[in-house]
Amino acid sequence: MYNIALLGVPIDLGAGRRGVDMGPSAMRYTGLQQRIAALGHRVCDLGNLLTPMIETGAALGDDQRLRYLEPISSVCAELADRVAHCVSQGQLPLILGGDHSVAIGSVSGSARGRDLGLIWIDAHADFNTAETTPSGNIHGMSLAALSGRGHPRLTGLAGRVPAIPPDQIALVAVRDLDPLERAALRTSGIHTFTMHDIDRRGMAAVMEQAISVIRRQGMGYHVSLDLDVIDPNIAPGVGTPVLGGISYREAHLAMELLAQAGGLCSLDVVEVNPILDIHNATAELAVELVLSALGRRIL
């Protein structure tokens, strides 16, 4: 059984559709803490980090290739410290986002002082840098930063660069890449499993290989789950929906296989957008997937 520290990071400083800052509240509204406890885990809700908002004057910054660098990097630095403290207390941090920039902090904090694998489950690779980004949105640079690419305010929060070596990262179910991002990913050393791989081989085979390549030295791992990995017909309330995602059962199978494999050290769940959701269905699905990752079984 896990000793879980629940922490919300309601940040939303990307361009375009707003609303993922309400994701932590939407997930808590489903009874998340009580449902985790019902599985037999200890769980403590630490509340939310204070995060800046565009409406209240968050600093955009001068470099349009790194929009909101100062407030995002500050939030991620605080989050990394909080997560590292939780780990030092023997807790499993469960981070509720917010946009996917939060993973820079959550993964970096979890990786301080220990080797860690990373399973990144996402429609997008989030592998841009200031040199390749078409938008300047830092939530599209998170995985690149964690693997050592990008601005030093984003890459060094684990106390080392990279926070996670590329050969200890598995990217699962990606289906929407920018052209320069695609070229960088091909030469990155990251183990990449696209939707094409899942279509051809099945989710079970892909997840089993993803787990095996990042656990080959027996290390634990962080899971970063972006709800836009799921097809928007099933999960409409996400920050950046893309058609052609994984199904309801494929998503649960992925989480169930993680629970079966063991080794989970920390987890973040991001990009739930209640403004675009229908009757909180996407937040409910997000919580169901967390429960599957934490060991809930059909029988």
Q: Which of 12, 21, 99, 100 is catalytic?
A: 100
State yes or no: is 271 an active-site residue: yes
Q: Which of 226, 231, 250, 256 is catalytic?
A: 226
Q: Are 171 and 143 in contact (CB under 8 A)?
A: yes
State yes or no: is 284 an active-site residue: no
Q: Which of 181, 271, 277, 284 is catalytic?
A: 271
Q: Which of 12, 99, 124, 222 is catalytic?
A: 124
Q: Which residues contact 97 (CB under 8 A, 6 or more apart)?
A: 9, 10, 11, 20, 23, 24, 103, 268, 269, 270, 271, 272
Q: Which of 12, 21, 99, 122 is catalytic?
A: 122
Q: Which residues contact 131 (CB under 8 A, 6 or more apart)?
A: 65, 180
State yes or no: is 279 an active-site residue: no
d(CA 210, CA 260): 14
Q: Which of 21, 126, 256, 277 is catalytic?
A: 126
Q: Which of 21, 139, 231, 250 is catalytic?
A: 139
State yes or no: is 100 an active-site residue: yes
State yes or no: is 228 an active-site residue: yes
State yes or no: is 139 an active-site residue: yes
**Residues annotated catalytic, as ranges:** 100, 122, 124, 126, 139, 226, 228, 271
